[in-house]
Chain A
Amino acid sequence: MSTDIRAISDIDLWFSITQFYSREARYLDDLEFDKWVGLLAEDLRYWMPIVSNRIGRGIGSELTERGHLAHFEDDYVSMSNRVKRLATGRAWAETPPGRTNHMVSNVEIVGKENKMVQVTSKFLIYRSHMETDQEVFSGTRKDVLREDADTKWKVADRTIVLDHAVLMQKSLGIFF
């Protein structure tokens, strides 16, 4: 993919991106976190604002803004460190590791530039942990993907919006 992205047909682009998302999900579900980090750009912005309940004039401002507290506000280094932590063998929240299925759908290309695409998608992640703990994570991702010679795409910017105001999950120890 050395050509301008805008010259690629929509169906080819869509296929390439959905394949990329499936591969990314497989790496996460198969605990191949180093490979997953390989799909992240070194100038990554990885952000999950907090959603809250608003009514009346507050409708439309449910999400925390930049500069406010967030669930994740990470970059390439901190995401790599989160992955390194899992490899220590003493990351107790993932010892034993949870069993996850990342389902990604409603993939929609909403913008194109020369080497970048903006994509929104929905996710539903099921996690089973230890004996009986069950967690479901539901939400939306807004990505900027950058064309890459090795991995086809890299995630340059990811905003994740979880649907939960009070998280019923015991922590956010997985990746989205």
Chain B
Amino acid sequence: MLDKGVHPHFDHLIDLTKGEINRKIFSDPEIYQTELKQIFARCWLFLGHTSQLPNENDFFTAYMGEDPVIVTRHSDGKIGAFLNMCRHRGNRVCRADSGNQRMFTCPFHGWTFANNGNLKTVPGFKQCYHEELDMESHGLVLVAKIDNYKGMIFATFDAKAPSLEDFLGDMAWYLDMMLDRREGGIEVLPGTHKWRIKCNWKFPVDNFIGDSYHGPVSHGSAWESGFEGMPRRKKGYGYEGFQINAGNGHGFGARWAENEEQVYEMALPEFLDYEHDRFPETHSRLGDLRGMHLSPMHGSIFPNFSMLWQSGNIRVWHPRGVSETEGWSWCFVDKKAAPDHRDMVRIHDLQRHGTSGTWEQDDVDNWVQSTKSSKGYVGRQFAQNLSMGVAHEIEDPKTIHPDMRGRVAGFQNEINQRQLYAQWAKMMNGDTPDVPGATV
């Protein structure tokens, strides 16, 4: 039924007034197949950063859902992306994770494509195909739209998708706290952590977008053994912080500093000198709210991009079946940062997050077990509980600060997870994507 374009309503699986989510969405293979179409073929998905393609003909491979793609900087300098799938027999035309090439030759029969996706040569075009193969229509399948926001490259396979700017909405404005706090923005360091977790892809996204609640329990051991990892108030002042939902399923959590002094008070000790260095520039670029009051910690962009701003960490959660996820994690630094600070950020990040991260590894089994318990017939009758603070959103966020955008709740509130699943239901219920070649 699902494949015929008749979409059952997904709203009943998400109860926003109670904050209850039907566990079926984490374990049902049919729902997962619908996600690949309604979410991963419709949304703008993060591919990488422009700093990863510094030269003409540079490329890296990535995924959009379960579809492998190649992201290239063409000979004309423009960035493009297309399916890593030969139009002949579906073989991957590129088996490298990154490199520099003008052409991609399929290892199966030798069809050769330029790095803008065009099919250039086919062995035996005359002798075997009698010049009857339409070369023009057999290029690599291009994404429908590709764009970047201050260096962050996103693409979508849906020709009907809104612009990237509209998709990110107010989140772009908040992302400036990462991307535009210093002149030159950020760059992503070479090297990607890639690893498999036997969990549904939504659990890590949910964890990163708004689960500030799990920190002290899940990560207490790291915290007390020398791996302090997040801005923390040293004294009890003002607001603890906020969960901010920027709309379209995007959100983040931030600490609140009343003044410049408190920014330094919350800073991680090893970054303190750097915080002093960068603060005046950030403050003048972004103003009081984004340049001083908010110290963002964790967040996600719908559907599967997450970040830990202060640790210099960004990641994507690639779906690999209903019960498996592949994490890709990168480290970023301000382009302006001096070498010694880059070293500190990198070491801070990798000792806490990603494959060997003392924080990360303690999250994994939580997600695995939540996934497993969604499979038992009895267990999945009971809702995933995201009710924290359901009636306690801040009515008028402008009372906190006149520049505040989006919906806001206290730091310990599951508003961001609820809005994540609300967006999930909206996409699942919505129009089918206008995907190249799709007939359903």
Task: Contact check, A54 vs B191: say whether CB atoms are below 8 A apart.
Answer: no
Interface string of A132-176 (1 = CB under 8 A from B): 000000000000000000000000000000000111111111000
Task: Contact check, A69 vs B331: say whether CB atoms are below 8 A apart.
Answer: yes
Q: Per a CB cutoff under 8 Å, which of B190, B227, B330 touches A85?
A: B227
Task: Contact check, A171 vs B355: say whether CB atoms are below 8 A apart.
Answer: yes
Task: Contact check, A50 vs B343: say whether CB atoms are below 8 A apart.
Answer: no
Interface string of B360-378 (1 = CB under 8 A from A): 1110111010000000000
Which parts of B322-374 form the interface with A (CB within 8 Å)?
Answer: 326, 330-331, 342-343, 346-347, 349-351, 354-358, 360-362, 364-366, 368
Which parts of B204-219 form the interface with A (CB within 8 Å)?
Answer: 217-218
Task: Contact check, B364 vs A53: say whether CB atoms are below 8 A apart.
Answer: no
Q: For residue B217, which residues in chain A have a CB less than 8 angstroms away from its CB?
A: 90
Q: For residue B366, which residues in chain A have a CB less than 8 angstroms away from its CB?
A: 92
Taking the complex as formed, is B98 at the interface, i.e. its CB lies under 8 A from any CB of chain A?
yes
Look across to chain B and name the residue whose beta carbon is closest to the beta carbon of A77: B226
Whether A169 contacts B222 in the complex (CB less than 8 A), given A48-B356, A55-B96, A58-B99, comes out as no
Q: Per a CB cutoff under 8 Å, which of A56, A69, A168 touches B193?
A: A69
CA distance A111 to B94 in the complex (A): 39
Task: Contact check, A93 vs B361: say whether CB atoms are below 8 A apart.
Answer: yes
B interface secondary structure, majority? mixed
Q: Kindly name the residue among A69, A72, A93, A165 whose own CB sees the greatest number of chain B CB atoms within 10 A.
A: A69
Whether A81 contacts B331 in the complex (CB less than 8 A), given A69-B191, A72-B350, comes out as no
Taking the complex as formed, is B55 at the interface, i.e. its CB lies under 8 A from any CB of chain A?
no
Task: Contact check, B220 vs A88: say whether CB atoms are below 8 A apart.
Answer: yes
Taking the complex as formed, is B189 at the interface, i.e. its CB lies under 8 A from any CB of chain A?
yes
Q: For residue A58, which residues in chain B have a CB less than 8 angstroms away from its CB?
A: 96, 98-100
Taking the complex as formed, is A112 at the interface, i.e. its CB lies under 8 A from any CB of chain B?
no
Taking the complex as formed, is A64 at the interface, i.e. its CB lies under 8 A from any CB of chain B?
yes
Look across to chain B and name the residue whose beta carbon is closest to the beta carbon of A75: B347
CA distance A77 to B270 in the complex (A): 15
Task: Contact check, B362 vs A165: say whether CB atoms are below 8 A apart.
Answer: no
CA distance A74 to B224 in the complex (A): 18
Q: Per a CB cutoff under 8 Å, which of A73, A77, A90 touches B221?
A: A90
Q: Smallest CB–CB gap between A4 and chain B, Å?
A: 36
CA distance A130 to B368 in the complex (A): 12
Q: Smallest CB–CB gap between A29 and chain B, Å?
A: 19
Q: For residue A54, which residues in chain B have a CB less than 8 angstroms away from its CB?
A: 96-99
Taking the complex as formed, is B401 at the interface, i.e. its CB lies under 8 A from any CB of chain A?
no
Which parts of B137-196 form the interface with A (CB within 8 Å)?
Answer: 189-196
Q: Smallest CB–CB gap between A143 and chain B, Å?
A: 18
Taking the complex as formed, is B101 at the interface, i.e. its CB lies under 8 A from any CB of chain A?
yes
Whether A50 contacts B221 in the complex (CB less than 8 A), given A69-B331, A166-B326, A171-B364, comes out as no
Taking the complex as formed, is B392 at the interface, i.e. its CB lies under 8 A from any CB of chain A?
no
Whether A71 contacts B220 in the complex (CB less than 8 A), given A77-B226, A93-B361, A167-B355, comes out as no
Task: Contact check, B194 vs A167: say whether CB atoms are below 8 A apart.
Answer: yes
Taking the complex as formed, is A70 at the interface, i.e. its CB lies under 8 A from any CB of chain B?
yes
Taking the complex as formed, is B405 at the interface, i.e. its CB lies under 8 A from any CB of chain A?
no
Taking the complex as formed, is B18 at the interface, i.e. its CB lies under 8 A from any CB of chain A?
no
Task: Contact check, B100 vs A93: say whether CB atoms are below 8 A apart.
Answer: no
Task: Contact check, A69 vs B189: say whether CB atoms are below 8 A apart.
Answer: yes
Q: For residue A48, which residues in chain B have a CB less than 8 angstroms away from its CB?
A: 356
CA distance A78 to B347 in the complex (A): 10
Q: Per a CB cutoff under 8 Å, which of B198, B331, B347 touches A170?
A: B198
Task: Contact check, A165 vs B97: say whether CB atoms are below 8 A apart.
Answer: yes
Taking the complex as formed, is B225 at the interface, i.e. its CB lies under 8 A from any CB of chain A?
yes
Taking the complex as formed, is B109 at the interface, i.e. its CB lies under 8 A from any CB of chain A?
no
Taking the complex as formed, is B266 at the interface, i.e. its CB lies under 8 A from any CB of chain A?
no
Q: For residue B98, which residues in chain A have a CB less than 8 angstroms away from its CB?
A: 52, 54, 58
Task: Contact check, B96 vs A68: say whether CB atoms are below 8 A apart.
Answer: no
CA distance A75 to B149 in the complex (A): 37
Taking the complex as formed, is B95 at the interface, i.e. its CB lies under 8 A from any CB of chain A?
yes
Task: Contact check, A171 vs B360: say whether CB atoms are below 8 A apart.
Answer: yes
Task: Contact check, B221 vs A69: say whether CB atoms are below 8 A apart.
Answer: no
Q: Per a CB cutoff under 8 Å, which of A57, A73, A168, A170 touches B368?
A: A170
Q: For residue A99, which residues in chain B have a CB less than 8 angstroms away from its CB?
A: none
Q: Per a CB cutoff under 8 Å, which of A49, A73, A85, A165 touches B358?
A: A85
Q: For residue B196, which residues in chain A have a CB less than 8 angstroms away from its CB?
A: 166-170
Q: For residue B36, which residues in chain A have a CB less than 8 angstroms away from its CB?
A: none
Taking the complex as formed, is B197 at the interface, i.e. its CB lies under 8 A from any CB of chain A?
yes
Q: Smallest CB–CB gap between A155 and chain B, Å?
A: 17
CA distance A74 to B94 in the complex (A): 34
Interface residues of chain A, those whose CB is within 8 Å of chain B, are 48-50, 52-58, 64-65, 67-74, 77-78, 81-82, 84-86, 88-93, 130, 165-173
14 A/B residue pairs, CB under 8 Å, sorted by A: A48-B356, A52-B98, A53-B97, A55-B95, A56-B96, A67-B343, A68-B190, A70-B191, A82-B358, A91-B222, A92-B365, A93-B362, A165-B194, A172-B355
Could you list 8 further interchain pairs (A-B, Cβ under 8 angstroms) beyond the known A65-B190, A165-B97, A171-B356? A67-B346, A68-B191, A69-B192, A69-B331, A71-B355, A73-B350, A168-B195, A170-B196
Interface residues of chain B, those whose CB is within 8 Å of chain A, are 94-101, 189-198, 217-218, 220-222, 224-227, 326, 330-331, 342-343, 346-347, 349-351, 354-358, 360-362, 364-366, 368
Q: Which 10 residue pairs are nearest across A and B when measured between Cβ atoms?
A: A69-B191, A171-B361, A81-B226, A167-B195, A172-B356, A93-B361, A64-B191, A85-B225, A88-B221, A52-B97
